[in-house]
Amino acid sequence: MQLTCNVGFNGGPGCSSLSGLLTENGPFTWEAGTLAPVQNPYTWVNLTNMMWVEQPIGVGFTQGTPDITNEVELGKQFVGFYKQFVETFGVQGWDLYLTGESYGGYYVPYIADAFITADDPDMPLKGININDPIIADDTTQQEVVIAPYLEYWNNLLYLNQSFLDRIWERNDECGYTEHMEKYFKFPPPQGPIPTLPEQTAANNYSCDQFSSAYAAILEINPCFNIYHITETCPHPYSVLGEVNSGDYVPPGAQIYFNRTDVQKAINAPPTDWNQCVDGVFRNPATNETVSDQSLGPAQNGVLQRVIEYTNNTLIGSGNLDMLLNTNGTLLALQNVTVSTKNHPDTNNRTS
């Protein structure tokens, strides 16, 4: 049997992959609102060797000073780490699979592309899996698609008709309706799909449909979870600590991975651990925090190269995630044209 290593990433940017270990696919889970961890019968450990990695530098228990400004640099850093891991633990040649969610939609394709560029037989990349991923710009994945999302799920959201009517009017005014009608179909028109303007202070956020919708929903359901729209009050407490505005933290609560006994048990250096942090992208000359300077991997050929190289890419989407909903992912993928002619098992088809 070929030995494999599956590496898991969470999002942010700046969020720890230990949240994936403890609340998603690890050997045990400690879900929000529960008193103690329990064994996870659906753990990915049942199927493969798993490694949950905190990255980039600045996240969780990582050591060092953040000094990257984009995903290309992030990918090179991770390849350097993994090469040392391979050499230290003698796992040369193990098949490598990369998985991630949310902002992992940036991390995973760019890191995979760095492995492809490295072309090292000791680190053979065999596939990637990204779920509810951000792979393009915010306008494509959030603004353009939010009106039909609200309409579809309004039996859960309870927005009044006058608000929905105004959302659709603004959708027309901002060109989102026309954009969807033209590009959200199969097959899409030939050539690259244009990127609509990003919503910034320069235009007074006049077409920021997503923020308008989010604010209206919070008026109705103050405990609304943008990642899982069926949740209502009360907010369950998570031992991983507060991440989103409004998360419940009881008096005296201590973040699990920030406990001295936990850090000692897992041989971690004494650290002020938080599930998510800011400032992982920094200008090394000035040490000032910057935003990630990279385009979405569906916009510049990165995702396409990974798909063509591995011929083994899975992209999943959950319908109850409003932040990165399914139609936004599909619209972003309309810009990815993939040739599989170099793979003998695909009958030279192009998709």
pLDDT of 243:
77
Q: Is the pLDDT of residue 204 over 70?
A: no
The answer as to whether 18 is a domain residue is yes
Looking at residue 33, its pLDDT comes to 87
Could you tell me the two tokens for 137?
């710009």
Produce one character per residue of 133-153: b if its CB has 16 or more CB atoms within 10 Å, e if not. Answer: bbbbbbbbbbbbbbbbbbeeb
Residue 261 has which token pair?
Answer: 């006994």
Terminal CA-CA length for the chain: 32
Report the distance separating Cα 324 and Cα 133, nearest Å.
7
Average pLDDT on 316-324 reads 94
Write out the residue range of the structural domain in which residue 97 sits. Answer: 4-136+294-318+342-346
Query: Region 290-308: what's the mean pLDDT?
Result: 93
The better pLDDT of the pair 218, 3 is held by 218
In a domain, 217, yes or no: no
Would you state the pLDDT for residue 134?
A: 95
- What are the pLDDT digits (tens) for 9-31? 898 899 999 999 999 999 999 98
The CATH number linked to 19 is 3.40.50.1820
pLDDT tens-digit profile of 110-139? 999 999 999 999 999 999 999 999 999 999
Has residue 62 been placed in a domain? yes
Q: What's the number of domains the chain is made of? A: 1
Cα R_g (the chain), whole angstroms:
21
In this structure, is residue 229 part of a structural domain? no
Q: What are 43's two structure tokens?
A: 């753990």
What pLDDT was estimated at residue 351? 35
**How far from 13 is each of 88, 223, 323, CA to CA, in Å?**
28, 23, 15
pLDDT at 346 over 50: no
**Which 8-state DSSP code applies to residue 188?**
P
Domain-located, residue 323:
no
Instruction: Quote the tokens at residue 320.
Output: 């109850």
**Number of helical H runs and strand E runs in the chain:** 12, 9
Residue 245 pLDDT greater than 80, yes or no: no
Give the per-residue pLDDT at 136.
Answer: 94
Question: Average pLDDT of 187-200?
Answer: 81
Domain contains 171: no
**Pick the residue with more confidence: 203 or 5?**
5
Among 10-14, 165-169, 194-198, 291-295, which is the least confidently predicted range?
Answer: 194-198
Neighbours of 112 (CB within 10 A): 29
Which pLDDT tens digit goes with each residue over 30-59?
Answer: 988 888 999 999 999 998 999 999 999 999
Domain for residue 260, yes or no?
no
Mean pLDDT of the chain: 89
* Res. 344 pLDDT band, cuts 50 70 90: very low
Strand segments (E) across the chain: 4-9, 28-29, 38-39, 50-52, 95-102, 125-133, 282-283, 288-289, 313-316
My answer on whether omega of the bond before 187 falls inside 30° of 0, hence cis, is yes
Asked if residue 283 has pLDDT above 90, the reply is: no
What confidence tier does 202 reach under pLDDT thresholds 50, 70, 90? Answer: low
In this predicted structure, what is the pLDDT of residue 2? 62
With respect to residue 304, please indicate whether it lies within any of the assigned structural domains.
Answer: yes
